[in-house]
């Protein structure tokens, strides 16, 4: 690859990973990806078990002289982490530790961007949440991300590893799994529009408010952190405002002519939930110049369009 910047992306076959790889290539980067065995595509991706220390090390060696590592691979769905906490710790914590040490040994000049989560903060003590907020996660996913985040800071301080931590808040966009709220509501609405299901739309708690970003803004933040973030620091990635799940549903319904019967679904209710989460991106903006470029309405438009096109193509 004839480029000065070569990225290794773990989790390259995921929702964010695929879009990150595409954007890096558009920006002129060389890109290598570590993916699940069934997802490899071409000679720039390698089947890699992130949870296997030796396989992970071989994947980093395979990638060659990379200049940057974007570590996205993780258990990301909160209900899954609650059902499989040991697996979550293995993938989100131990694999991150193993990756940092392998990169430090094999590619000591490379910068790692660790993708953590705002779930590390737990219940907000004040809003908007800044990077100085206490880390007090309330469930296995957040606990795992807080532990890995803390290890990144240790690795920089004690070992001199060049690592920057991102703490993204909620984000969505075209192609996200319908396990997540915006994509779930959009898919259900499109299925009702097309007659693929009855007119009942099932929801969880509609009152919880979250800070939603467009996935492409989040990707831009990761790339800026790779270039301009300060080693050993953590950065919120967020829009800086909050919307309720009810706001999401109202916005999507306003974009549809379907007659929709909204019904609560106990299976979608979480045992531990937080009334509102909203972050501050001031530190990220100050250090990198990043600003969100895509608003909430654009996000809803694009996710709804994605499902209309996707489900229409499936119908033939």
State the residue for tokens 């996000």.
Answer: 299
The answer to whether 124 touches 133, Cβ cutoff 8 Å, is yes
CA-based max dimension of the chain: 59
The answer to whether 14 touches 175, Cβ cutoff 8 Å, is no
Which of 298, 268, 303 shows the shortest CA–CA distance to 186? Answer: 303
Choice among 3-7, 103-107, 249-253 with the minimum mean pLDDT: 3-7
The answer to whether 76 touches 141, Cβ cutoff 8 Å, is yes
Is the pLDDT assigned to residue 180 strictly greater than 80? yes
Strand order across the beta sheet in which 163-168 lies: 45-47, 30-35, 6-10, 68-71, 111-115, 163-168, 234-237
pTM beyond 0.85? yes
Is the pLDDT assigned to residue 273 strictly greater than 90? no
Burial of 316 (0-12, 13-18, 19+ CB in 10 A): exposed
Is the pLDDT assigned to residue 56 strictly greater than 90? yes
- Residue 182 to residue 306: CA distance in whole angstroms: 12
Region at 255 (left for phi over 0; alpha for psi -120 to 50; beta for the rest): alpha
Question: pLDDT tens digits for 90-108?
Answer: 999 999 999 999 999 999 9
Choice among 122-126, 209-213, 263-267, 297-301 with the minimum mean pLDDT: 263-267
Under 8 Å CB-to-CB from 259, ≥6 apart: which residues? 199
The answer to whether 151 touches 96, Cβ cutoff 8 Å, is yes
Choice among 36-45, 138-147, 192-201 with the minimum mean pLDDT: 36-45
Q: What is the pLDDT of residue 103?
A: 98
Taken in order of first residue, the domains within the chain and their CATH numbers are: 6-172+211-237 (3.40.50.720), 181-209+242-276+295-315 (3.90.25.10)
Partnered with residue 276 across adjacent β-strands are 209
Q: What's the chain's average pLDDT?
A: 94
- Residue 196 to residue 201: CA distance in whole angstroms: 12
Question: pLDDT tens digits for 73-82?
Answer: 999 988 889 9
Q: What is the pLDDT of residue 266?
A: 75
Helix and strand numbers (H, E) in the chain are: 11, 13
CA dihedral 166, 168, 174, 180 (to 10 degrees): 140
Q: What is the pLDDT of residue 272?
A: 52
- Residue 111 to residue 226: CA distance in whole angstroms: 7
**R_g over Cα of the chain:** 19
């Amino acid at each position: 690859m004839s480029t000065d910047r070569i990225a290794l992306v773990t989790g390259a076959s995921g929702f964010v990973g695929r879009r990150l790889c595409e954007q890096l290539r558009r920006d002129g980067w060389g890109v290598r990806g570590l993916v699940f065995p069934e997802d490899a595509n071409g000679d720039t991706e390698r089947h890699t078990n992130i949870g296997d220390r030796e396989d992970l090390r071989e994947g980093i060696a395979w990638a060659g002289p990379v200049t940057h590592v974007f570590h996205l691979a993780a258990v990301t769905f909160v209900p899954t982490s609650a059902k499989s906490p040991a697996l979550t710790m293995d993938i989100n914590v131990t694999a991150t530790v193993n990756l940092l040490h392998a990169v430090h040994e094999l590619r000591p000049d490379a910068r790692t961007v660790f993708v953590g989560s705002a779930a590390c903060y737990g219940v907000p003590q004040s809003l908007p949440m800044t990077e100085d907020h206490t880390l007090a996660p309330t469930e296995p996913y957040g606990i795992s991300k807080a532990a890995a985040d803390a290890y990144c800071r240790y690795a920089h301080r004690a070992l001199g590893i060049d690592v920057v931590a991102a703490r993204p808040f909620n984000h969505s966009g075209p192609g996200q799994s319908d396990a997540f709220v915006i994509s779930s509501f959009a898919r259900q609405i499109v299925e009702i529009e097309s007659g693929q299901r009855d007119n009942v739309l099932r929801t969880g708690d509609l009152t919880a408010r979250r800070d939603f970003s467009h996935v492409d803004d989040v990707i831009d933040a990761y790339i800026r952190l790779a270039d301009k973030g300060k080693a050993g620091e953590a950065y919120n990635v967020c829009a800086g405002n909050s919307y309720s799940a009810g706001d999401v549903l109202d916005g999507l319904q306003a974009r549809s002519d379907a007659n929709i019967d909204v019904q609560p679904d106990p299976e979608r209710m979480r045992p531990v939930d937080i009334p509102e989460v909203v972050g501050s991106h001031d530190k990220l903006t100050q250090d990198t110049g990043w600003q969100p470029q895509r608003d909430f309405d654009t996000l809803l438009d694009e996710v709804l369009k994605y499902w209309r096109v996707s489900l229409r193509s499936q119908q033939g």
